[in-house]
Amino acid sequence: MDLEKYVVFSAEAGSARQNGRPLVALESTIISHGMPYPENVRTALAVEDVVRAGGAVPATIAILDGKINIGLARAQIDDLGRKGQGALKVSRRDLPAALAKRTTGATTVAGTMIAAQLAGIEVFATGGIGGAHRGAQASFDISADLSELARTSVAVVCAGVKAILDIGLTLELLETLGVPVLTYGADEFPAFYARGSGFRAECRCDTPAEIALALRAKWDLGLAGGAVIANPVPAEFEADPKLINDAIALALAEAAKLGVTGKRITPYLLEKIAHVTGGRSLETNIALIKNNAALAAAIACALRR
């Protein structure tokens, strides 16, 4: 494939790639669909700084001017933040048309994984992965993130599955798809806003080096696909589980009443939950994203070593 036909690197990301420095991919739907402006832009820039402080180079990924951009300038991040939900959410199925139409697109977990693998980036930090929505047994509403994790060899550092989803069913699907789930420093799988979900961690790893060894073993053995690195939110930023669960229940009920479905459901629910919790969920979201970026940088550096 002619990489330059579809992919462009920022000066910082391109230099890191040429010089063999560790890179960490960052998604852009957090900017466009995850938070209001200007908090989204401030958070995106702060997360990039966390990656740099950890010894790696950040590469925020988006679709701009008919190209997959690996690394964005501050002005591009600001433009994307201002555009907000006017940007297209780009997953695997949306990528060809977004490039052909030169659409401004913010990459989802799946879209970012594809771009990261094209760019040779092995580690990606996000907030939470998509999964099986509640009631997916009947609706079949299951995120493309899961199938992407089964096929694309990029490790995804997250605070678990987004809290609005069915965590148990998502973990069952990840097992079926053969995706390793490594929980960092805890015996229980995290629940995004909360440190625990009630589901036992199938594999606990206590250091970034241990995670890096597991990832290298997986890929050296030719076992294609990614891995979920579940990183609990720091205890001081954990949200009250009852407050969050009550907010989720209210948001889900209102979404069903209004007929909000498909790509609109996650940003709608996150916005509603932030409103109901008086901004507490947003504070927790920002803290866990920074925490994930720090761990991703440490893993990326360990993989290089």
Question: Which positions are catalytic?
Answer: 27, 162
The alpha helices in the chain, defined as continuous H runs, are 3-6, 11-18, 29, 39-53, 74-83, 95-100, 109-119, 136-139, 144-151, 167-176, 208-220, 241-258, 265-276, 280-304
230 beta partners: 158, 183
Asked if 112 and 61 count as a contact pair (C-beta separation under 8 A), the reply is yes
The residue written with tokens 């994203």 in the block is: 289
Asked if 142 and 174 count as a contact pair (C-beta separation under 8 A), the reply is no
Q: Which two tokens stand for residue 295?
A: 């761990």
Angstrom distances, CA of residue 235 to CA of 203, 231, 286, 287: 21, 12, 14, 10
Q: What are phi and psi of 270, to 5 degrees?
A: -65, -40
Please state, in angstroms and rounded to a whole number, the distance separating the CA atoms of residues 59 and 207. 23
Q: What are phi and psi of 177, to 5 degrees?
A: -80, -5
Name the 3-class secondary structure at 193: coil
161 beta partners: 129
Please state, in angstroms and rounded to a whole number, the distance separating the CA atoms of residues 240 and 232. 14
